[in-house]
């Protein structure tokens, strides 16, 4: 596995790979890799000739400086994991070299996908994600890029971004990988103490209860939200950022649950903000 820190060096290697006609798979990450990331790498290995992983805690996408500073890091163990997965190139840029002159003062928006959920409660977050993805896609020129559906809104935004800007990259979303109690794997879980971890397990519990209600024929998004909220708030450590019931295609709100329905939530467990979502198929 080649470990590369410089954009120019990576660009040169990518040009050679492109000339040889090989297909490039790309897994962009912010590190502190877990099984969810490894699943993305395995999919990249299956579908591409050359797999590239980037690890870069992108300052442009944090609206809270403390959150940025506290983001967990473990580059040595991450490199080992990438090596074990057979990754060909690990891109580890340094922030000041990645954004010479600081984070660019530019704002990219996809308004119809950025009017609710994290776009509203983390102002500027997706604009920052698009800045880094645009830079990374230009350097890596991936044929395929892989993202986890835990960040469902991010996945839809990046897919639409790649399509509408003509990157020629096929963006795939992979199912969320979960802990045995159902908690979605996230690098942020490492910041939970034992009490917070116990409270976090109320999130998958709320989804299980939502699933049961839907099976019993509940059609009201309001009732679903209310019951999930009661379950999550049964721990005083939990604070709800949002619980939304949406159309999974375009993230618009729905009056009554039918067909495919996305339930998306964000919860502060102590200081740590966790997100999760589930897709339900409602029987008519
Ligand atoms: O999902 C993440 O880890 C990040 O938002 C991403 C896509 C790597 C961009 O920094």
| Segment 209-221, tens digit of pLDDT | 999 999 999 999 9
Stretch 86-109: mean pLDDT: 95
Q: Which domains does the chain have, with CATH numbers?
A: 2-174 (3.40.50.620), 187-277 (3.30.1300.10)
Q: Which residues of 151-183 are buried (b: 16+ CB within 10 A; e: fewer)?
A: bbbbbbbbbebbeeeebebbbbbbebbebeebb
Token pair of 73, please? 């890091």
Residue 74: pLDDT over 80? yes
Mean pLDDT within 266-279: 98
- What value, to the nearest 5°, has the Cα angle with vertex 179 and ends 175 and 184? 50
CA of 29 to the centre of ligand 1 (A): 5
Q: Is 54 in the pocket of ligand 1 (CB under 6 A)?
A: no
What local confidence, expressed as pLDDT, does residue 95 receive? 83
Average pLDDT over the chain reads 97
How far, in Å, is the centroid of ligand 1 from the Cα of 129?
7
Close Cβ partners of 68 (under 8 Å, ≥ 6 residues apart): 57, 59, 62
Q: Going by CA atoms, what residue is nearest to atom 2 of ligand 1?
A: 29
pLDDT at 284: 74
Q: Tokens 């903000």 appear where?
A: 273
* pLDDT score for 255: 94
Give the residue, out of 127, 136, 154, 169, with the most ligand 1 atoms within 8 A of its beta carbon, to mutate for a pocket test. Answer: 154
Residue 37 annotated to the active site:
yes
Q: Specify the pLDDT at position 257.
A: 96
Mean pLDDT value across residues 14-23: 98
Q: Is 40 in the pocket of ligand 1 (CB under 6 A)?
A: no
pLDDT at 40 over 80: yes
Mean pLDDT across 235-262:
97
Residues 6+ apart with CB under 8 A from 8: none
Regarding the beta carbon of 113 and ligand 1, being less than 6 Å apart is answered no
* Per-residue tokens: 208: 């299980």
Instruction: Tell whether the model's pLDDT for residue 54 goes beyond 90.
Output: yes
Ligand 1, atom 6: closest residue by C-alpha: 29
Residue-wise pLDDT for 98-121, tens only, equals 999 999 999 999 999 999 999 999
Q: What percent of the chain has pLDDT over 90?
A: 98
SS (H, E, C) the chain: CEEECCHHHHHHHHHHHHHCCCCEEEEEECCCCCHHHHHHHHHHHHHCCEEEEEECCCHHHCCCHHHHHHCCCCHHHHHHHHHHCCCCEEECCCHHHHCCCCCCCCCCCCHHHCCCCHHHHCCCHHHHHHHHHHHHHHHHCCCEEEEEHHHHHHHHHHHHHHHHCCCCCEEEEECCCECCCCCECCHHHHHCCHHHHHHHCHHHHHHHHHHHHHHCCCCCHHHHHHHHHHHHCCCCCEEEEEEEEECCCCCCECCCCCEEEEEEEEEEECCEEEEEEEEEEECC
Atom index in ligand 1 nearest the CA of residue 133 equals 9
Q: Is the pLDDT of residue 231 over 90?
A: yes
What's the token pair of residue 50? 């050359």
| pLDDT per residue as tens digits for the range 157-206 | 999 999 999 999 999 999 999 999 999 999 999 999 999 999 999 999 99
Yes or no: say if 59 and 95 are a contact pair by the CB < 8 Å rule: yes
Residues 37, 112, 125, 138: which is the catalytic one? Answer: 37
Mean pLDDT of 244-271: 97
Distance from C-alpha of 171 to C-alpha of 168, rounded to nearest angstrom? 9
- What mean pLDDT comes out for the span 11-19? 98
């Amino acid at each position: 596995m080649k470990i590369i820190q410089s954009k120019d060096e990576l660009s040169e290697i990518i040009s050679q790979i492109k000339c040889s006609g090989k297909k490039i798979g790309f897994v962009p990450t912010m590190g502190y890799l877990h099984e969810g990331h490894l699943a993305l790498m395995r999919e990249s290995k299956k579908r591409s000739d050359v797999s590239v992983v980037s690890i870069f805690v992108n300052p442009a996408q944090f609206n809270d400086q403390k959150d940025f500073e506290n983001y967990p890091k473990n580059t040595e163990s991450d490199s080992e994991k990438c090596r074990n997965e057979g990754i060909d190139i690990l891109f580890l840029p340094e922030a000041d070299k990645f954004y010479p002159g600081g984070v660019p003062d530019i704002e990219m928006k996809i308004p119809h996908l950025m009017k609710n959920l994290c776009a509203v409660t983390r102002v500027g977050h997706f604009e920052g994600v698009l800045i880094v993805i645009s830079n990374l896609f230009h350097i890596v020129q991936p044929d395929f890029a892989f993202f986890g559906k835990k960040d469902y809104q991010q996945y839809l935004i990046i897919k639409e971004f790649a399509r509408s800007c003509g990157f020629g990259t096929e963006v795939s979303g992979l199912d969320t990988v979960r802990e045995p109690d159902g908690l979605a794997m996230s690098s942020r879980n490492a910041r939970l103490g034992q009490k917070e971890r116990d409270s976090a397990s109320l999130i998958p519990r709320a989804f299980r209860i939502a699933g049961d209600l839907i099976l019993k024929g509940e059609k009201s998004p309001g009732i679903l939200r209310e019951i999930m909220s009661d379950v999550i708030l049964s721990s005083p450590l939990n604070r709800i950022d949002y619980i939304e019931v949406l159309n999974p295609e375009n993230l618009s709100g729905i009056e009554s649950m039918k067909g495919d329905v996305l339930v998306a939530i964000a919860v502060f467990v102590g200081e740590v903000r966790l997100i999760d979502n589930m897709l339900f198929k409602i029987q008519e």
